[in-house]
Structure 1
């Protein structure tokens, strides 16, 4: 799951971004409402966490602008304005949830999970299967032919993307967006290096390879025979 945090206070943003990343999410941050709106319009985020009082564009105005444009990305609003009327206004203007500051980080995580369940987002599915491989997302463990394969968090994000698009080409840009932050500057062939490590884990020792290179394009996840070049 990829989350955009729109928060102008550096200390609050740092706390929130660090906690979300440690919880396994891919997180980007915008420090004002205009930038937050611009990034949200790119449609690459699964959830927005938006502070209500923002410079350049108020948080509620950001949400209303998105809804008027037909963008339905879920929004969790954070605000020190916590009266019943403030909450009602936020929900009516298009927020999916409204959490008053100060808040417990555990409650924020629970609300993210509740939004995901309610909207049937990928976070709600704890396992996925494709081509004979099963992936337990929260446990970060894959299973193939009864063999458990332990993965790192970024490997899970990459493998999820490949499995979700099983049979279709997944570009390196798609993999970068799935597993790294928006402002990440890719160094060399970082995607290929991570895919190489995943291959060693899920294909090593098995008769059939599941991850195949598509020259000049990216990768495809399938158990169908492929003309797979050496990597």
Structure 2
């Protein structure tokens, strides 16, 4: 994955580039809006991370000019400006997501992967394939080694989240929030991972201690 980072705060840029590199994400850096717009026209970019307070023009202007060109490059605004007015302004101008500084790197990585994942079109195959397992989100079926696996709706939702991460670790907070909601008890995730392992095999889901789970199939 290749991400364009449009940000003028050098210390933050260095920290972000290190964190994204560790996650296997290549970054291209632009310090100004003009540089960002020029780089956004190059091939091979999957997503833009855009600050609002740039030295030459507002990030909102960059975003508007980007969309005028017809570009559908996913954009995550990352800024200290967190008022409801600014959030609405960014989303209305074509941002795909809006995150406040300071931020969690894990949350940013999750949002990057979510936004960079192209929505399935008529010619795309929505089926997720990881290891020996395949999950069809439209038919709501899971098969492993060609054999159907019976899952409850909640188990299927958790399996989908883990498989969609494409080999990356899904953090415990993210899994709890996306499958059960913010009020979920922490141990419910372990219980349902146990259910999935009993149906798919003990080695199908790897525990990454202190972080979360990875689906290996």
Unaligned runs of 5+ in 2: 132-164, 169-217
The Cα shift of 1:42 comes to: 1.7
Say which SS state the counterpart of residue 44 (structure 2) adopts. coil
The Cα shift of 1:120 comes to: 4.9
In structure 2, relative to structure 1, the CA distance for the partners of 1:41 and 1:126 (3 Å cut) is farther
Say which SS state the counterpart of residue 108 (structure 2) adopts. helix
The Cα shift of 1:32 comes to: 1.1
Aligned to 2:84: 84
Q: Would you say 1:24 and 2:24 are equivalent positions?
A: yes
The Cα shift of 1:119 comes to: 3.1
In structure 2, relative to structure 1, the CA distance for the partners of 1:47 and 1:120 (3 Å cut) is farther
Aligned to 2:46: 46
The Cα shift of 1:118 comes to: 6.0
- How many Å separate the matches in 2 of 1:51 and 1:101? 10
Task: Give the number of equivalent residue pairs.
Answer: 131
TM-score (norm 2): 0.55
- How many Å separate the matches in 1 of 2:95 and 2:105? 19
Aligned to 2:167: 138
Aligned to 2:114: 114
Deviations 1:66-122 (A, max 9, x none): 101101100000111101111111000110000011111111011112213463599
Unaligned runs of 5+ in 1: 129-135, 140-231
Contact 1:126 1:138 in 2 (8 A): no
In structure 2, relative to structure 1, the CA distance for the partners of 1:62 and 1:47 (3 Å cut) is same
Mapping for residues 1-231 of structure 1, pairs under 5 Å: 1-117=1-117, 119-120=119-120, 138=167
Contact 1:5 1:28 in 2 (8 A): yes
- How many Å separate the matches in 2 of 1:86 and 1:106? 24
TM-score (norm 1): 0.52
Superposed CA RMSD: 2.6
